[in-house]
């Protein structure tokens, strides 16, 4: 997939330049305030805010969490101990049952009353730990669930989530409401709120699923404290999701990065996005070519159409020359 994107979307630097130019409009990201001797779990915080945002959209659980509960049986070289694994797997269904109460076609508030919100954020963090087991096809030693007390209840596991995590997610949720877009997005009709979308071509790249498709906009949530350091990988990730929707089943018309620590949505319509990246094929033909490349032209996979490659229209917001900011990457 990486080779295909590099060949067919060679202008990613232009898109990166536009992203960085627009990024400077937003305030500095908020940061987690971990206690003395604590190192923030940045990756897990990113998963946790994603789950909390999904709850605001009325979609509290997903298949990765459920699969993580099952795959918790796969230890990491004898860690954690069998009795800890049994404890964690017993807590999993209880977690799912509690989260199910937040499923709603109307969505959920971005902030609940203090006690409920505290519990909800902690549940999201535990859910993220199960999802991490799914993503890694088993345990990794940094997963805090592995430190659970044998025989612990879900309440004990939830209460063990550090307070700084609760505080950090709550401040990100406040930003999601203002200046962020989620207060309006959660009020969309249920059919326009898709969480964890899986695409026609997901299995061709190991089962990739995106964060959100909201009102036809593909959104990837990033909880980074250094948004200026995001680069080609994140933009190619967006492009990959867009191309894997071979049949246009989600009718994606725009794509964007949501920076949850700034409440900032930086987005592009599809024509501008592909134009910045130097695409020489229209989207349907790019998707067909991508499918053909990822399946090695397997039986039943039609070859991409024979078309004359031609540049897409220049993006409306494209600067006359590439900005110097890209040269400052470090």
Pick from 64, 88, 62, 93: which is nearest to 75 by CA? 88
Q: What is the pTM of this model?
A: 0.89
What is the average pLDDT score of the chain?
A: 91
Contact 91, 153 (CB under 8 A): yes
Pick from 186, 169, 235: which is nearest to 23 by CA? 235
Pick from 201, 233, 242, 265: which is nearest to 53 by CA? 265
Three-state SS for 31? coil
Confidence grade of residue 136 (pLDDT, cut at 50, 70, 90): very high
pLDDT digits (tens, 9 = 90+) for 112-125: 999 999 999 999 99
- What mean pLDDT comes out for the span 21-40? 92
pLDDT digits (tens, 9 = 90+) for 216-252: 999 999 999 999 999 999 999 999 999 999 999 999 9
**Tokens encoding 163:** 């307070």
The overall longest dimension of the chain from CA atoms, in Å, is: 65
Share of the chain above pLDDT 90, in %: 86
Contact 145, 189 (CB under 8 A): no
pLDDT for 296 equals 87
Q: Is 317's pLDDT higher than 70?
A: no
Per DSSP, helices labelled H in 80-201 are 82-100, 114-135, 154-159, 163-177, 182-185
pLDDT for 315 equals 53
């Amino acid at each position: 997939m990486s080779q295909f994107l590099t060949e067919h979307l060679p202008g990613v630097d232009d898109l990166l330049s536009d992203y960085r130019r627009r990024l400077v409009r937003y305030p500095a990201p908020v940061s987690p305030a971990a206690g003395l001797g604590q190192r923030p779990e940045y990756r897990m915080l990113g998963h946790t805010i994603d789950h909390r945002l999904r709850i605001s959209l009325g979609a509290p659980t997903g298949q990765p969490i459920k699969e993580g509960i099952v795959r918790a049986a796969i230890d990491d070289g004898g860690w954690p101990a069998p009795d800890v694994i049994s404890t964690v797997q017993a807590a999993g269904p209880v977690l799912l049952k509690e989260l199910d109460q937040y499923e709603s076609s109307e969505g959920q508030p971005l902030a609940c009353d203090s006690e409920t919100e505290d519990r909800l954020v902690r549940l999201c963090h535990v859910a993220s730990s199960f999802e991490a087991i799914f993503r890694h096809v088993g345990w990794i030693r940094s997963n805090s669930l592995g430190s659970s007390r044998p025989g612990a209840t879900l309440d004990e596991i939830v209460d063990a989530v550090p307070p700084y995590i609760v505080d950090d997610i709550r401040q990100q949720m406040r930003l999601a409401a203002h200046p962020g877009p989620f207060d309006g997005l959660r009020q969309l009709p249920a059919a326009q709120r898709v969480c964890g979308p899986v695409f026609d071509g997901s299995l061709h790249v190991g089962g990739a699923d995106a964060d959100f498709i909201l009102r036809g906009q593909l959104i990837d949530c990033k909880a980074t404290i250094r948004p200026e350091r995001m680069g080609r990988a994140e933009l190619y990730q967006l492009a990959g999701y867009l191309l894997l929707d071979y049949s246009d089943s989600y009718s994606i018309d725009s794509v964007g990065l949501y920076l949850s620590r700034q409440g900032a949505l930086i987005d592009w319509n599809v024509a501008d996005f592909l134009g910045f990246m130097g695409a020489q094929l229209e989207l349907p033909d790019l998707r067909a070519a991508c499918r053909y490349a990822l399946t090695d032209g397997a039986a039943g996979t039609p070859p991409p159409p024979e078309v004359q490659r031609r540049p897409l229209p220049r993006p409306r917001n494209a600067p006359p020359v590439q900005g110097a900011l890209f040269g400052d990457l470090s």
